[in-house]
Amino acid sequence: MEQRSEWDAIVVGSGMGGLVCAAYLAAGGRSVLVLEQHDVAGGSSHVFRRRRAYEFDVGVHYLGDCGPDGILPAIFSGLGLDGRVRYRAMDPYGFDRIALPGLTVDVPVGWPAYRGRLVEAVPAEAAGILRFTDVCAAVAAETRALLLAEHAPTPAEVMAGTPATARWGRRTVAELFDHCGLTPRARTLLAAQSPNYGMGPHQATVSQHAAVTDHYLRGAYYPEGGGQVMAASLVEALEAHGGELRTRTRVARIRVADGAVTGVELTGGEVLRAPLVVSNADYSRTVLELVGEEHFGRRLVDRTRRATMALPFATLYVALDKELADRPNANLWWYRDGDIEGAYQRLAEGRIAPVPFLFFSFASLKDPGARNVCPPGHTNFQVMTLCPPDYAFWGVHDGPAAGERYRRNEDYQRRKAELTEAMLSAAEEAIGPFREHIVHLETATPLTHERYTLTTGGTPYGLAQWGGAGNRPDTRTTVEGLHVVGAGTRYGSGITGAAVGGLACAAQILDRRLLPETHRGVRLGDPDLLPERAAGWDPLAVSRGARRRDARGLAGIG
């Protein structure tokens, strides 16, 4: 089949933001090509398989706000994907368990219940906790109202409708802690889920913290069949509306002439033309490498060069030949002590021993009986911790995105082995002994994540600081026809943040208020065009794109 070389739009990268944007542009009548350097689409939402028995999610550990009024289901429904992604609710009375020495708090759905649990846990700090959560709830409500507004609000309307955000939105969480007079123990409880956005209280803004907290307090869910189902569904919508996904295709350059994009150049030299390019690549790499700083203003380039990234993760992927007894369907946030700000400070200094905190995600509890997760009677779970942000911690200089070979580097291997052992020891402190039942153990470092997604520093969360506090770029750039999506934009990180950003980008291009439209039930996509899913439908195969769907090398289950 001959490959076409001209398109209305080319999307570089197939993370959640890129796929959502591409699918909506295709449903809106544009010819769209998505280019992905990895073997499968999905970015941080993709999965991998081991031993023909276990499937591990890379980045989808839980989703918030997937009920009847949810934003993420609305985005998928707008493409005609109703029912193609189903969401399993986690325990509404405690979807996150926060464990500090001598104190355990189960986080329930809803702000009132959440406040009640926190006050019950530390009653001496009730006044400060209520003040803190009142501010966060107000900021979150204002932000959501702006996103779902039927018309674009004027600056005056924004100011009038967001008093809490105007006062607190761009200030740090630590400043609000200070204002509320909270102790380190209460601060640790309130910020325990901050690794969900990869920043500590002295770096994260109140708006960021409020949005993520509110997201999960609207209900915590897990996609039935795992995260790859989400990416595969978007690929189906893209292809059904005439778009194309090409995997194993790396873009070397986004071409610009006379201040406007003209297309892209691939690593092999092939040139593909389009008057519109949407980069789902890492924002800093987009500006400084793919496009080139000569095409942007000096202030933007300086800001991008000075930008810092959110912290990256190290992850243990664990399979056991037994079930974990008496565990609720909840994540576990385990803290060694009650000083979260001290833990982040030690990370900033490159100190991680002993491991200060761990996040546990139990996939086999969230999707029970799923044949892709693990065999009956087995357990599939991940253990994660944040890592220092620099390459020097791992004994490397340039990183895998720049082509550095690191996996046989002795310093890297030693550090990885040390961290694996430290995380295993801490994990057994948290949930009890399990090593003798391990049948698969694999460690992914930030360099692993960078190798597959090409994100700066291996973080899934994008920019931490880009100029002033809370600043992040919009999806529209100063280069005509160039847009950006993904975890680095102002719409936030995580699956839903990236999806909202992708939809916002498509809305700018199509000149429509797509999020309010889809939230009230409008469809751009035609469900009758979508393919039927036969028995044995494999989202990993679909996510390779139509041209490579039947290519060799795809891992199976069972």
CATH code at position 400: 3.90.660
pLDDT at 558: 74
DSSP state of 287: I
In a shared domain, residues 440 and 315: yes
In a shared domain, residues 409 and 478: no
Inside any domain, residue 56: no
Whether 244 contacts 14, CB under 8 Å: no
Amino acid at 85: V
DSSP state of 6: B
Inside any domain, residue 298: yes
Inside any domain, residue 167: yes
Inside any domain, residue 103: no
Nearest to 551 by CA among 266, 227, 247: 247
In a shared domain, residues 300 and 384: no
Q: What's phi and psi for 524, nearest 5 deg? A: -95, -35
Whether 284 contacts 304, CB under 8 Å: yes
In a shared domain, residues 407 and 446: yes
CA dist 381 to 215, 323, 384, 431, 477, Å?
A: 23, 11, 10, 12, 40
Q: Domain range holding 234?
A: 9-47+67-85+224-307+465-548
Inside any domain, residue 553: no
In a shared domain, residues 318 and 300: no
Provide the CATH number for the domain around residue 525. Answer: 3.50.50.60
In a shared domain, residues 317 and 449: yes
Q: Cis before residue 354, ω within 30 degrees of 0?
A: yes
In a shared domain, residues 320 and 448: yes
In a shared domain, residues 163 and 243: no
How many CA atoms are closer than 13 Å to the CA of 257, on its beta-carbon side? 6
Picking from 427, 457, 487, the residue at the C-terminal end of a domain is: 457
In a shared domain, residues 432 and 350: yes
In a shared domain, residues 72 and 139: no
As given in the structure block, the two tokens for residue 204 are 């994260």
In a shared domain, residues 445 and 507: no
Inside any domain, residue 57: no
In 140-213, where do the E strands start and end? none
Residues of the chain with pLDDT under 70: 1-2
Whether 131 contacts 119, CB under 8 Å: no
Listed in sequence order, the residues at least 6 apart from 324 whose beta carbon sits closer than 8 Å to its beta carbon are 362, 365, 379, 381, 431, 434
Q: How far apart are the first and last CA of the chain?
A: 33
As given in the structure block, the two tokens for residue 157 are 């309307």
Inside any domain, residue 372: yes
pLDDT at 160: 83
Picking from 217, 245, 267, the residue at the C-terminal end of a domain is: 217
Inside any domain, residue 407: yes
Q: How many helices (H) and strands (E) does the chain have?
A: 19, 22
In a shared domain, residues 411 and 321: yes
Picking from 196, 217, 238, the residue at the C-terminal end of a domain is: 217
**In the chain, how many domains are there?**
3
